[in-house]
Amino acid sequence: MTHAPDTRPDVVRIALLGAGNVGAEVARVLLEQPEELARRIGARPELIGIAVRDTSAQRTVELPQQLLTTDAESLIDAADAVVELTGGIEPARTRILRALNAGKPVVSGNKALLARHGQELHEAAEASGTTLNYEAAVAGAIPIVRPVLESLSGDRIRRVLGIMNGTTNYILDQMDTTGASFDDALAEAQRLGFAEADPTADVEGHDAAAKVAILGGLAFHSWYTIDDVYCRGIRGITAEDVEAARSAGFVIKLLGVAERVSSGVNLRVVPTMIPRTHPLASVHGGYNAVFVEADGAEELMFYGPGAGGGPTASAVLGDLVSALRRVVAGGPGIGPVVHAGLPATGVDDVQTSFSLTLLCPDQTGVLAAVAGVFAEHGVSVSTMRQDDVRDDPRRPGEDLAEIRIVTHRARNADLVRTVEAVRGLDVVYDLSGLIRVEADD
């Protein structure tokens, strides 16, 4: 029920779990701008405590010592709303459920948890009439969760694709703009703080895959987990691949994609060549962008910083203000609509294009043999370029040709079979640079 004006609370109490870069920035704003936030919320927000692992640990941001505690459970019990910014699966899952089961709204940026247990957490929120909010879990400061959840809820989304990881975008952008190798670009990303000491989650695509699972579920009104996402990272991308893409008018990006196909919804994270004229091609450095294609709205792009304490805290605080408005008004929570139940499918039925590079002997009949395999499998070639190769260490002393092929769109399964058949030809010494292409035929 909605509170009568004279029964609305004057103060709303907030528990903050986590004091890293994002948590510290959220705490700073709550402590420095309570009156300004109160005018938006309708009650004064009070940060009653910050749960941390070690209250005596050195921190880059100074926080009031009296607010620090290791007793997260008591803090949750005393709060009206909870902000969870600790990351990981446990104890974050247990703590969020504690708050939701008590009817307290939760704001989280925990993409790993949401991509594993989002359905369970949402069901707990719905059962107690509260909300689970997580704008910060996908693309940092970019407002994408709420537009998909609310603004586009009356439209039919066909596809969501985007650059959802700033680390990999920085690496690929450096390779494209400076000619750097993957290893050199990664080292520079680590030096600048774009990449962690262990960059596996980023460069193998797992971080982006979690975001695709979350965003795909919202876009297609169904539940998905990270296990539903086909994932390939960027470790195998070479400077030669990047240069070949450039010479053909493309740039390589790690794209997260959720799209409607005949058998359900395909979710994938793959290195992809996109035309330099595409809006996503102009996304540089550590920035993110999400491109939405829908029946009514047609094409929309959301762009901005995908990480960082300040930008991510902005998304957290937006969710928090929205959640606290409902606390003050006493209204029920509004969760995602997930009644469509569209199944997650594999990549076999996805319509896509491939780019590949063949090393062959420079002799008559090679192109005819390759073209014959494509024709046999019902896959047509969009472009083909041949360059002479001399003194290649793979076949010393031979006159060689490098053949770069971009296919027309076809079923992924048909393309894979075609590539394997081409690889088996006697006149194909090596097949490399196999990358998906995002382009209109």
Residues 168 and 208 in one domain: yes
* Residue 17 annotated as lining a ligand binding site: yes
Residues 394 and 264 in one domain: no
Q: Express each pLDDT in 163-215 by its tens digit.
A: 999 999 999 999 999 999 999 999 999 998 888 889 999 999 999 999 999 99
| Span 415-434, average pLDDT | 95
pLDDT of residue 417: 97
188: CATH = 3.30.360.10
* Residue 249 annotated as lining a ligand binding site: no
Q: Please state, in angstroms and rounded to a whole number, the distance separating the CA atoms of residues 162 and 322.
A: 26
* Residue 196 annotated as lining a ligand binding site: yes
pLDDT of residue 5: 60
Q: Is residue 346 part of a domain?
A: no
Number of folded domains in the chain? 3
Q: How far is CA 3 from CA 7, 103, 139, 328, in A?
A: 6, 16, 35, 7
Bridge partners (DSSP) of residue 366 are none
Q: Among residues 265, 298, 329, which one ends one of the domains?
A: 329
Residues 284 and 202 in one domain: yes
Q: Express each pLDDT in 228-273 by its tens digit.
A: 999 999 999 999 999 999 998 999 999 999 999 988 999 999 999 9
| Catalytic residue, candidates 93, 95, 122, 211 | 211
* First vs last C-alpha separation in the chain: 55
pLDDT at position 333 over 70: no
* Residue 21 annotated as lining a ligand binding site: yes
* Residue 245 annotated as lining a ligand binding site: no
pLDDT of residue 418: 97
Residue 397 confidence class, pLDDT cut points 50, 70, 90: confident
* Residue 20 annotated as lining a ligand binding site: yes
Write b or e for each residue in 70-106: b if 16 or more Cβ atoms lie within 10 A of its Cβ, otherwise e. Answer: eebeebbeebbbbbbbbeeeeebbebbbbbbeeebbb
325: CATH = 3.40.50.720
- State yes or no: is 104 an active-site residue: no
Residues 273 and 180 in one domain: yes
pLDDT at position 441 over 80: no
Residue 58 confidence class, pLDDT cut points 50, 70, 90: confident
Residues 316 and 227 in one domain: no
Q: Is residue 56 part of a domain?
A: yes
Q: Is residue 78 part of a domain?
A: yes
pLDDT of residue 1: 47
Cβ neighbors of 440 (< 8 A, separation 6 or more) are none
Residue 393 confidence class, pLDDT cut points 50, 70, 90: confident
pLDDT of residue 390: 79
pLDDT of residue 398: 86
Percentage of the chain surpassing pLDDT 70? 97
Residues 323 and 378 in one domain: no
Residues 70 and 156 in one domain: no
Q: How far is CA 342 from CA 149, 161, 248, 335, 345, in A?
A: 16, 18, 37, 18, 9
Q: Among residues 329, 360, 380, which one ends one of the domains?
A: 329
Q: Please state, in angstroms and rounded to a whole number, the distance separating the CA atoms of residues 378 and 326.
A: 57
Residues 149 and 294 in one domain: yes
Token digits of residue 160: 């969501």
Q: Please state, in angstroms and rounded to a whole number, the distance separating the CA atoms of residues 152 and 314.
A: 22
Residues 167 and 255 in one domain: yes
Residue 277 confidence class, pLDDT cut points 50, 70, 90: very high
Q: Is residue 122 part of a domain?
A: yes
Q: Please state, in angstroms and rounded to a whole number, the distance separating the CA atoms of residues 134 and 147.
A: 13
377: CATH = 3.30.70.260
Residues 411 and 382 in one domain: yes
Q: Among residues 329, 362, 397, which one ends one of the domains?
A: 329
pLDDT of residue 4: 56
| Span 305-325, average pLDDT | 90
* Residue 22 annotated as lining a ligand binding site: yes
Token digits of residue 61: 């941001």
Q: Is residue 361 part of a domain?
A: yes
pLDDT at position 440 over 50: yes
| Span 280-305, average pLDDT | 94
pLDDT of residue 141: 79
Output the 3-class SS for the chain. Answer: CCCCHHHCCCEEEEEEECCCHHHHHHHHHHHHCHHHHHHHHCCEEEEEEEECCCCCCCCCCCCCHHHEECCHHHHHHHCCEEEECCCCCCCHHHHHHHHHHCCCCEEECCHHHHHHHHHHHHHHHHHHCCCEECHHHCCCCCCCHHHHHHHCCCCCEEEEEEECCHHHHHHHHHHHHHCCCHHHHHHHHHHCCCCCCCCHHHHCCHHHHHHHHHHHHHHHCCCCCHHHCEECCCCCCCHHHHHHHHHCCEEEEEEEEEEEECCEEEEEEEEEEEECCCHHHHCCCCEEEEEEEECCCEEEEEEEECCCHHHHHHHHHHHHHHHHHHHHHCCCCCCCCCCCCCCEECCCCCEEEEEEEEEEECCCCHHHHHHHHHHHCCCCEEEEEEEEECCCCCCCCCCEEEEEEEECCEEHHHHHHHHHHHHCCCCCCEEEEEEEECCCC
Percentage of the chain surpassing pLDDT 90? 82
Q: Is residue 246 part of a domain?
A: yes
| Span 37-57, average pLDDT | 95
pLDDT at position 7 over 80: no
pLDDT at position 309 over 90: no
Residues 152 and 212 in one domain: yes
Q: Rounded to the nearest 5°, which phi and psi values hold at 13?
A: -95, 135
Residues 234 and 262 in one domain: yes
What is the span of the domain harbouring residue 278? 144-306
Q: Express each pLDDT in 96-147 by its tens digit.
A: 999 999 999 999 999 999 999 999 999 999 999 999 999 999 987 789 999 9
Q: Is residue 316 part of a domain?
A: yes
pLDDT at position 382 over 90: yes
Q: Is residue 301 part of a domain?
A: yes
* Residue 133 annotated as lining a ligand binding site: no
Q: Please state, in angstroms and rounded to a whole number, the distance separating the CA atoms of residues 19 and 50.
A: 7
Q: Give me the chain's average pLDDT, please.
A: 93
Q: Please state, in angstroms and rounded to a whole number, the distance separating the CA atoms of residues 214 and 118.
A: 8
**Treating both helix axes as pointing N-terminal to C-terminal, what angle do 21-32 and 34-41 enclose, rounded to 10 degrees?**
80
Inter-residue contact 101 to 124 (CB < 8 Å): yes
